[in-house]
Amino acid sequence: MSTNSIQLSRSSKQKVMELVLSIIKARSGKITAKEIERDLGSRYEAHYAILHLTKQGKIRRVKGFGLNKIEFYYQTIE
């Protein structure tokens, strides 16, 4: 039984997290996970970075109104 998961090296993980953090800061905290995925180009890397930055307390998830529904936005914690 094999798994087809993508493995990132430690330095790659750190770079992805720094990139996602800079994307969130640049957008003034009004960015959704889908927009981060689009900017980064990889769904796996975006979700990995969001999860770990949230656990580290560097970003937070905020509920807000989107165009047609309630969406979650990400903001930096300062």
b/e per residue, 22-47, with b = 16+ CB within 10 A? ebbeebebebebebbbeebeeeebbe
pLDDT digits (tens, 9 = 90+) for 6-21: 566 767 888 999 999 9
Q: Which domains does the chain have, with CATH numbers?
A: 10-76 (1.10.10.10)
The CA distance from 17 to 59, in Å, is: 11
- Do the Cβ atoms of 72 and 26 come closer than 8 Å? no
Given a cut of 90, is residue 78 above it in pLDDT? no
Q: How far apart are CA 65 and CA 74, in angstroms?
A: 13
Q: pLDDT value at position 4?
A: 45
Going by pLDDT thresholds of 50, 70 and 90, the confidence category of residue 30 is confident
Between residues 13 and 36, the one the model is more confident about: 36
The per-residue pLDDT for 12 is 83
Q: Which two tokens stand for residue 51?
A: 């999860």
Residue 2 has pLDDT above 50, yes or no: no
